[in-house]
Structure 1
Amino acid sequence: MSVSPTDHPSAPAPDQEATTDDINLARTSGPIVVITGASSGIGCATALAFAREGASVVLAARGADGLARVAGACRRAGGQALAVPTDVTEPDQVQALAERTLEAFGRIDVWINNVGVGAVGRFEEVPLEAHKRVIEANLLGHIYGCHAVLPHFRQRGRGVIINMISIGAWAPAPYAAAYAASKFGLRGFSESLRAELADLPRVSVCEVYPTFVDTPGVGHGANYSGKHLRPPPPMVDPREVAQALVKLAHHPRPSTLLGSVAWPVRLAHTVAPDLSAGMTRRLMDAGFRRAEPQPHSAGNLFEPSMGHAIDGGYRRSSMNPDTARILKLGALAIAGIALLRSL
């Protein structure tokens, strides 16, 4: 399921938010899908992918203007769309998101917790309020979403929760300690919740672990490193992630890894966590030395992102395919070295 460039311009034309009266429930035969973090990147790509299947998507993010643009693009793609401005760090707002969806559509089939933020820099140089905000958005935001929708799923006896996590839930992230804490915690929360719901076989909790995805997220995030940041290759197309989420909605599975280096990174951490973390730190230090200076910024931690594109544009300016292949082989080599060191 590909989305053509005309379906996801970086700034789609504004569209009015649909009201309950605007939604023709008689035509709501497709799934009802709630997506948080839907105004750009993976969330926007996922909303469009579901809309092209005829789904009704409920879009949540902090910025009303960005949501309205994505909602308009989803309607033009063939789906129904409802924009509900929501800050997932506020549990009352997340509960209101679930209630508004039920008011409009009468049910929820899929709930995708997709919000993710980060703060890069030496731990003690990143303000405590930034660390706190990362935990609130990445971990508590997902918990609030599950808490809001699970009573409905339990009552219906069916439903799919998809928690967007990261390969960072399996590997330490030097200079992004709060981000790693939130992702490791989210993995534990998701696995625990799935075990708790084992008596409800038609209620699924799915975890998605992509490697770096080419979205605006790195540029939108908080940066206290003093350096210009760019994600390392090879990067995943956000539309590939969106397709994986659509597939999970139809065929849930506990865990999905995306990206060619995902399994080597997970293996390296499993068999020799200190060695793999040390190698990651040296790679990041080398990147910082080459990077251009950049002022400190809180990014989108406390304010909505201004851009609403799907792509970050990093793949277009990234290194050539041969170099990317070398990096993939390097990840496999790290995993092999880690395994040998553990014996």
Structure 2
Amino acid sequence: MVVLTGGSSGIGRAAALAFAARGDKVVLAARGLADLEKVAAACGGAALVVPTDIAVRAEVEDLADAAVDQFGRIDVWVDTAAVMAYGRFEDLPPHVFDRTVTTDLLGSANVARAALRIFRAQGRGTLILTGSLLGHVTVPNMSAYVTSKWGQRGLARTLHQETMDAPDIHVCQLAPGSVDTPIYTSAANYAGFVGRPPPPVDTATRMGAAIVSLADRPRRSISVGATNRLIEFGFTALPPVYDRLVGPLMTRVALSRRTTPPTAGNVLGPATRTEGGPLRLGRVAVGAAAAVGASAVVLLGRRVFRA
């Protein structure tokens, strides 16, 4: 039996469909009831729906109890719930920054606390936290999300250490790169332009399959994205070059040319969209990403050969 927090859209929705398609019982949780019911219907109608805000600890504990009451146990708990905020740190309203961190980091802690309580009682279980490439590198204009995902990665590593006394309890983390989900367009935005996933872009379906794979064969962490390792290497091996390139790249390919007034997006309340939209990146944006990537490879290669 699988609990999915963040199951109403994006990666969580894709994972729910993948688990349901192979016959697993699923419990879907997110803030918005209407979207949860749509996903439950797509799963065949047998899913248990429990509206839950993971930022509220009591609601997460109630979710855990509801799942156990209904199915007797929890075998896998997948947390994909997240919100995002664009804008320079100094331009983000403090309450938007705080709420993003509360949902993305403290919400994961609430989930982990509830899941481990059940797993300890059962003697087994798998917790899968969905992190991000941005838990391994930094980019401008996304300080709240980056802070949350770096913190979540530290939490996951610590929990892995603390559960070594229980070999049948597993703590895993998935680090996706760029994925076509609604998080970019539903994000809080104080950058002036609507966000979009920078190329190369994966599908939510691919990430859902990766989550199912982790459930079947738990591993400490996996990174899924065509350029994840290259970006991480550049961030670590050539920080001055990385820092020089990441700002222009962020402006060119991670923000569209569609303007937006300042908005809190779905950070303070649920959105209603369940799927990613058309990726209108354009030739210029894709070309810019390819050019920057190629430049990074050349620069990194020169660094390696000089060493």
TM bracket, shorter-chain basis: over 0.9
Distance, in Å, in 2 between the alignment partners of 1:275 and 1:182 is: 25
- 8 A contact 1:116–1:137 mirrored in 2: yes
Partner of 2:165: 199
Whether 1:337 aligns to 2:278 is no
Q: Secondary structure at the match of 1:292?
A: strand
By how many angstroms is 1:137 displaced?
Answer: 0.6
Distance 1:184 1:340, change over 3 A: farther
Whether 1:117 aligns to 2:79 is no
TM-score, L = length of structure 2 = 0.93
Partner of 2:181: 215
Partner of 1:273: 239
Whether 1:98 aligns to 2:64 is yes
Alignment partner of 2:277 out of 294, 312, 317 = 312
- 8 A contact 2:184–2:194 mirrored in 1: no
- 8 A contact 1:117–1:134 mirrored in 2: yes
Partner of 2:204: 238
Figure out how many residues of one structure are paired with residues of the other and give that number. Answer: 305
Q: Match for 1:71: what amino acid?
A: A
Whether 1:87 aligns to 2:53 is yes
By how many angstroms is 1:216 displaced?
Answer: 1.1
Distance 1:290 1:218, change over 3 A: closer
Distance, in Å, in 2 between the alignment partners of 1:100 and 1:255 is: 28
Partner of 1:35: 4
By how many angstroms is 1:271 displaced?
Answer: 1.6
Q: Match for 2:151: what amino acid?
A: G
Q: Please give the root-mean-square deviation of Cα atoms over the aligned residues, in Å.
A: 2.2
Q: What do the CA deviations read for 1:191-220 (whole angstroms, capped 9, x no partner)?
A: 111011111111111111111100111011
Segment drifting more, 288-297 vs 107-116: 288-297
Partner of 1:23: none
Q: Match for 2:277: what amino acid?
A: G
By how many angstroms is 1:287 displaced?
Answer: 5.0
Partner of 1:24: none
Distance, in Å, in 2 between the alignment partners of 1:288 and 1:149 is: 34
Q: Match for 2:249: what amino acid?
A: L
Whether 1:66 aligns to 2:35 is yes
By how many angstroms is 1:147 displaced?
Answer: 0.2
Q: Secondary structure at the match of 1:184?
A: helix
Q: Secondary structure at the match of 1:207?
A: strand
Task: In structure 1, list runs of 5 or more residues that go unmatched.
Answer: 1-31
Whether 1:294 aligns to 2:255 is no
Distance, in Å, in 2 between the alignment partners of 1:154 and 1:58 is: 20
Distance, in Å, in 2 between the alignment partners of 1:289 and 1:74 is: 33
Distance, in Å, in 1 between the alignment partners of 2:277 and 2:216 is: 28
Partner of 1:29: none
By how many angstroms is 1:232 displaced?
Answer: 1.3
Alignment partner of 1:257 out of 212, 215, 223 = 223
Give the fraction of aligned pairs with identical amino acids, expressed as a percent: 36
Whether 1:161 aligns to 2:127 is yes
Distance, in Å, in 1 between the alignment partners of 2:254 and 2:293 is: 20
Alignment partner of 2:25 out of 56, 60, 63 = 56
Distance, in Å, in 2 between the alignment partners of 1:86 and 1:271 is: 41
Task: In structure 2, list runs of 5 or more residues that go unmatched.
Answer: none
Partner of 2:99: 133
Alignment partner of 1:44 out of 13, 18, 21 = 13
Distance, in Å, in 2 between the alignment partners of 1:156 and 1:212 is: 36
- 8 A contact 2:195–2:255 mirrored in 1: no
Q: Match for 1:74: what amino acid?
A: C
Q: Secondary structure at the match of 2:43?
A: helix
Distance, in Å, in 1 between the alignment partners of 2:127 and 2:149 is: 16
Q: What do the CA deviations read for 1:237-256 (whole angstroms, capped 9, x no partner)?
A: 10000001011111111111
Alignment partner of 1:151 out of 89, 112, 117 = 117
Q: Secondary structure at the match of 2:166?
A: coil
Distance, in Å, in 1 between the alignment partners of 2:277 and 2:175 is: 19
